[in-house]
Structure 1
Amino acid sequence: MTAAAATRRFLVLTALRWLPVGLLIPVMVLLPLDRGLSLTEVGLTASLQGVVVLLLELPTGGLADSVGRRRVLLLAAAVGTGACALLLTADTVAGFAAVGVLKGVHRALDSGPLEAWYVDAVHAADPAAPIEKGLSLQGVVLGVAIAAGALAGGGAVALDPLPAVDALAAPVAAALALQVLGLVGIVALMTETPPSTGLRAVWRSAGQTPRAVLDGVKLLRHNRVLLALVAVELTWGFGMVAFESLTPVRLAEVLDGAQAAAAVTGPASSAAWLASAAGATVLPWLGRRLGLAPAAALLRVVQGVTVLGIGLLGGVVGVVTAYLACYVVHGAANPAHMTLLHRQVGAGQRATVLSLNSMVSQPAGSLGLVVLTAVADGASVPVAMALAAVVLALGAPLYLPAWRQARRPEPAGA
């Protein structure tokens, strides 16, 4: 397989992975609400995904290295298909809790094997081949796939093409079909000679997990800049719940109906992901003008303002405008944060730090789901949005150590 062929397969599999995610965006919160769950129950059941990912992320990474990326990705796709099938029929708190657990297992297994397979395949074909272009194209394909899926999901709700299925469940049925297609795609397109598959190899890999966590904790203890950057994920993971999960609920309030809200959320989410891509293109200019750390801090505050706008502005136009502005900022903020993070570590520690960064965001997101949905239930969605806006803005001062380091360079491990 040539490097070009590996890239083509990588991009096709990326599209198949993220199209179902886009399809589900308009209904992930509205569907359980329509089936009788309270907003607090929706938050609790969805939060289980983050807890499971937190527990399994590092062990599943070791599993992929031990038994092969293709096999782990096949297992991930099978679990994802099961989660989608259960979501189609779930109508109780226990049912949606099981969906959350399965989605967490899927996300943990799925995190990394495809990218690792791609890099290995390209280097096997040509050790000197650059991988940056393929990884950049993956970001484009991912954004477009989610945008297209969200648009199709909203359209499926509006058109209600399946008489035997509730309108809000139509995108789930389509996502299930695509999950199966993605499973077939992995079988057909991924080729790999797996490493040792013995139980001893798997056990040895799992045994490295505590050491990986310990090494990461040592890094955070000795690097104040890195500790502050990872702590940003606590505020970011918590606050993201507001615009990712509560925006459809806010639209349902404005439009006085879940089905109408889902129909609007689809196109709005599609546009939001395109807005996010546009925001990413602005970051290099903003970084040159302000410096990367000050730009990242400013983006945290501005994102808080946009979330406040989602909660307080009246009418569909006001809510959607604030939502799109939020994603423009989100698209710029993510590469700014990741670039600052990469500057603090060398190649030998990079994967550990990235895993820790992700692990911090997962429980923060779970906490955000529990707290913000409870506040929305007990008070109102605008109050929950305001709380999330404040928490997002609290991440801004955490970029000050990186800013000071840029002004007075010091060793990364200081």
Structure 2
Amino acid sequence: MPLYPLYALLFADAGLSDAEISALFAIWSAVSLLAEVPTGMLADRFSRRANLVAAGVTTAAGFAMWVVAPSFPGFAAGFALWAIGGALTSGAFEALLFDALAAAGASEQYPRLLGRVTSMGLLAQVPAAGLATALFAVGGYTLVGWVSVAVSLAAAALAACFPEAPLSSSARAVDDGDVRRTPSYLAGVLAELRTTAALPGVTGAVLAVALVTALDTAEEYFGLLAMNWGVPTAAVPLAIVAIPLAGAVGASMGGAAARLRPGSLAALLGAAALLLGAAAFVARPVGLVAVAACYGLGQLVQVVVDARLQRRIPSNQRATVTSVAGLGGELAAFAVYAGWAVGQASAIAALVGLIAILLPLMLRPGSVSRRRGRRH
């Protein structure tokens, strides 16, 4: 998507302040959070493929809003549409892929295929950055925006061609009791929180996953960092392309680092904080090298922490507890937005350092449950 490496710059060049840009990202997260559950229900009860088609169309509409109404209200509306598009995809793609493989008797291929899709998504940012640079030089943000609209619609058309295994009758059947319970989103969230809190050693791991995952939100500011540090707007996409590549390398090393102790993971995350803080202090294009290294270390820690959580969750409660961690990540992302608004990269480096300090406590097996028992 050629607009990805440039949209934060679009906001800045349209005259928005850092606080307004952070507010846009907060709107994005808030709508994503609210849309996650109902869009997942749509996918399970009707059609996962239809969700993916609708996601492409909705995202295209959001990008079109940015082109035709380049102001805070237009950007906010576009982000809301993009958030809904992302929520329509979240979960639906994985379910469609797994069920299609299961119908073909190849469900054991799911981890390999999903990993390949994820890797290709990161690597695709390289040609997208080059395309963004070329398009911006020819037609500015307008051309980049309309090409992104076309890419989103092309993705919707491609999704319409995906095979879809028939949904089970249990997925389609909804009794009256379920219908009455469905609108109670808050009650469902509270029930998930209670379930998580009752599992020894899981609460801390959920918090760790949520906080480390929330750091991914800083990726939205990489383009602004490059511009603020003296990189010309047209060169920003190529200047920051090494950052997601470093993230891909870090994530690929997560398996090798799976046996690291919590203290070692905290040290890696602390090193990431120092790298980002040093880059913010230098405030020059060369600092992007340190940002890339920081991002790679963060991705490595994220993979390991997620694996630690999965090992602590009983099989019959895995989806529930993982959804709590995802919800926590969305909520924790607001701290990153606020940090950028207050102190930009330096404040985010401080947040990374704080999480590094807390990480050994959060990953200590059973520590949360024991403390709760002593209080009562």
TM-score interval (norm. to shorter): 0.7 to 0.9
Task: Give, as a single letter, the amino acid of the residue that structure 1 aligns with 2:227.
Answer: A
Inter-partner Cα distance in structure 2 for 1:128 and 1:154: 40
Q: Does 2:339 align with 1:372?
A: yes
Structure 1 residues 115-124 or 352-361, which shifts more?
Answer: 352-361
**Residue among 131, 142, 153 paired with 1:180:** 153
Residue 330 of structure 2 corresponds to 362
CA contact (8 A) 2:222 2:240 kept: no
| Aligned pairs (5 A) from 1:322-401 | 322-369=290-337, 371-375=338-342, 383-401=343-361
Inter-partner Cα distance in structure 2 for 1:129 and 1:254: 47
CA contact (8 A) 2:50 2:160 kept: no
Residue 193 of structure 2 corresponds to 217
CA contact (8 A) 1:68 1:195 kept: no
Residue 306 of structure 1 corresponds to 275
Post-superposition CA distance 1:270-321 (Å, at most 9, x none): 2222211211233333344x33x3343223212212221331124212x221
Shift of 1:48: 0.5
Inter-partner Cα distance in structure 1 for 2:97 and 2:129: 26
Residue 118 of structure 2 corresponds to 139
**Residue among 41, 44, 48 paired with 2:23:** 44
| Aligned pairs (5 A) from 1:277-288 | 277-288=248-259
Inter-partner Cα distance in structure 1 for 2:156 and 2:29: 23
Structure 1: state its 5+ residue gaps.
1-19, 376-382
Inter-partner Cα distance in structure 1 for 2:335 and 2:82: 17
* Structure 2 counterpart SS, 1:189: coil
CA pair 156-205 structure 1, distance change in 2 beyond 3 A: farther
**Residue among 83, 97, 120 paired with 1:118:** 97
Structure 1 residues 148-157 or 350-359, which shifts more?
Answer: 148-157
Inter-partner Cα distance in structure 2 for 1:151 and 1:225: 46
Inter-partner Cα distance in structure 1 for 2:113 and 2:217: 30
* Structure 2 counterpart SS, 1:395: helix
* Structure 2 counterpart SS, 1:286: coil
**Residue among 231, 236, 249 paired with 2:224:** 249
Give me the CA root mean square deviation.
2.9
Residue 54 of structure 1 corresponds to 33
| Aligned pairs (5 A) from 1:258-273 | 260-261=232-233, 263-273=234-244
Shift of 1:194: 4.6
Residue 13 of structure 1 corresponds to none
Structure 1 residues 76-85 or 129-138, which shifts more?
Answer: 129-138
Shift of 1:133: 1.4
Inter-partner Cα distance in structure 2 for 1:200 and 1:72: 23
Task: Give, as a single letter, the amino acid of the residue that structure 2 aligns with 1:220.
Answer: T
CA pair 372-397 structure 1, distance change in 2 beyond 3 A: closer
Residue 138 of structure 2 corresponds to 161
CA contact (8 A) 2:54 2:156 kept: no
Inter-partner Cα distance in structure 2 for 1:173 and 1:27: 13
* Structure 2 counterpart SS, 1:191: coil
Percentage of matched positions with identical amino acids? 23
* Structure 2 counterpart SS, 1:405: coil
Inter-partner Cα distance in structure 2 for 1:357 and 1:404: 17
Structure 1 residue runs of 4 or more that deviate by more than 6 Å after TM superposition: 196-202
Post-superposition CA distance 1:114-170 (Å, at most 9, x none): 11111001111116643221122122212112333233223433xx223xxxx1343
Residue 4 of structure 1 corresponds to none
CA pair 103-37 structure 1, distance change in 2 beyond 3 A: same
Higher relative contact order (CA 8 A, sep 6+): 1
Q: Does 2:263 align with 1:294?
A: yes
| Aligned pairs (5 A) from 1:79-158 | 79-126=58-105, 129-157=108-136
CA contact (8 A) 1:310 1:322 kept: yes
Shift of 1:253: 2.6
CA pair 307-215 structure 1, distance change in 2 beyond 3 A: same
CA pair 205-143 structure 1, distance change in 2 beyond 3 A: farther
CA pair 207-237 structure 1, distance change in 2 beyond 3 A: same
**Residue among 229, 241, 264 paired with 2:205:** 229
Shift of 1:220: 2.8
CA contact (8 A) 2:229 2:284 kept: yes
CA contact (8 A) 1:233 1:364 kept: no
Inter-partner Cα distance in structure 1 for 2:24 and 2:106: 45
* Structure 1 counterpart SS, 2:289: helix
Please report the TM-score for the alignment, with normalisation by the length of structure 1: 0.79
Residue 63 of structure 1 corresponds to 42
Post-superposition CA distance 1:233-280 (Å, at most 9, x none): 5644664444x233322322332x7xx13x333123322222112112
CA pair 384-233 structure 1, distance change in 2 beyond 3 A: farther
Structure 2: state its 5+ residue gaps.
none
Shift of 1:31: 0.2
Shift of 1:98: 0.7
Residue 189 of structure 1 corresponds to 162
* Structure 2 counterpart SS, 1:315: coil
CA pair 264-294 structure 1, distance change in 2 beyond 3 A: farther
Task: Give, as a single letter, the amino acid of the residue that structure 2 aligns with 1:178.
Answer: V
Please report the TM-score for the alignment, with normalisation by the length of structure 2: 0.86
